[in-house]
Amino acid sequence: LLCEPSNICASTLEKLGTLGEMMKDLEDYKNKVTSLETELKDMRERYFNMSLSFAEVEAQREELVMIVRSLRNGS
């Protein structure tokens, strides 16, 4: 690092913390990312299943509408 004066570098390093703290923070962030990716995968799977269920119900509704229309026209 090219810092002038050197107290600016020291101050910056103090704000960053120790290497151990930074490694722990990095590990925490990695764990959080993994957790969020898992949650996103689960949400996508639930959304897919709900979409499939909706499509099935919509198909049944359309079939019932056609039956009702044919009964009305037949009477």
Contact in structure between 1 and 9 (CB atoms under 8 Å):
yes
Q: How far apart are CA 37 and CA 42, in angstroms?
A: 9
DSSP 4: S
DSSP 49: H
Would you state the pLDDT for residue 7? 66
Tens of pLDDT, residue by residue, the chain (75 residues):
455 656 667 766 677 778 888 899 999 999 999 999 999 999 999 999 999 999 999 999 999 999 999 999 986
Q: How far apart are CA 36 and CA 8, in angstroms?
A: 37
C-alpha to C-alpha distances, 72 to 60, 63, 66, 69, 75, nearest whole angstrom = 18, 14, 10, 5, 5
What is the model's pTM? 0.61
